[in-house]
Amino acid sequence: MKIISWNINGIRAVEKKGELQKFLQNEDPDLLFVQEIKAKKEQLSNYLTENSEYLQFYHSAEKPGYSGVGAWVKKSWIKKKNLSQLPVVETGMPGWNDSEGRVICLEFAKFTAIGVYFPNGGKSEAAWLEKLEFYEHFLGYVNDLRKTDKTVIWCGDLNVAHNPIDLARPKENEGSIGFRPEERAWVDKVVDAHWVDVFRTLYPNKESYTWWHMISNARARNVGWRIDYFFVDQADFAKVKSAPHINSQMGSDHCPLALEIDI
């Protein structure tokens, strides 16, 4: 199974540029999670809501033009796998008011996949504290999900670079949002809870980024951050085949990342 996660930074704009169509043709994912769709479903085209090749689900933010996540499932993959039921789709997290459209979960018979867009936390002290609260609540949420004995996969924009290798200029960004000790310590906590950062585990010494600042032309200079991830339970890591970054794909300030896994 091929799963792709992409912070698309405005799904209508990426469709208008033709980059989304090109991406799907080139990569052909079985399951696609998108973050920062920045639209409500009624604002989207038929291609984005009634696609002939994909079932499409969205969880939009209440605030217009902000945040929001989505999940696409390849119809031919469902048919090929002879699945007896379509995925159960849930949005948000129990006990959390997800008015910003940050979490979407697809539950299949044998596995659960979650797409998430974590808060940035840089707007104010209150936003920073809410980011830390979101981190803790989300970890509890996914820890509870794996008690079902299904394979659990979660992915998306975590808005944190875990270690110095995960950003081009770690010394210059010490203390910056996205690289603060509290955020990095939370990722340590995730790993200690036996969740595997798939990319870093497969490629321990590889310098590869998933986000670049748009205004400073950072992508052309490859001055980036790795803030987008796939995580799987340690017990399921042996099922992973590959987890590349698709750095050549344009259209957003993030690149997509893929996970090939034997479910």
Q: In terms of Cα–Cα distance, which of 153, 139, 177, 158 is closest to 229? A: 158
d(CA 113, CA 131): 22
What does the H/E/C string look like for 23-74? HHHHHCCCEEEEECCCCCHHHCCHHHHCCCCEEEEEECCCCCCCCCEEEEEE
Residue identified by tokens 């820890």 is 143
**Known catalytic residue at 30:** no
| Residue 174 burial class via C-beta count within 10 angstroms: exposed 0-12, middle 13-18, buried 19 and up | exposed
> Which of 28, 30, 144, 157 is the catalytic position?
157
d(CA 54, CA 30): 9
Which residues are part of the catalytic machinery?
A: 157
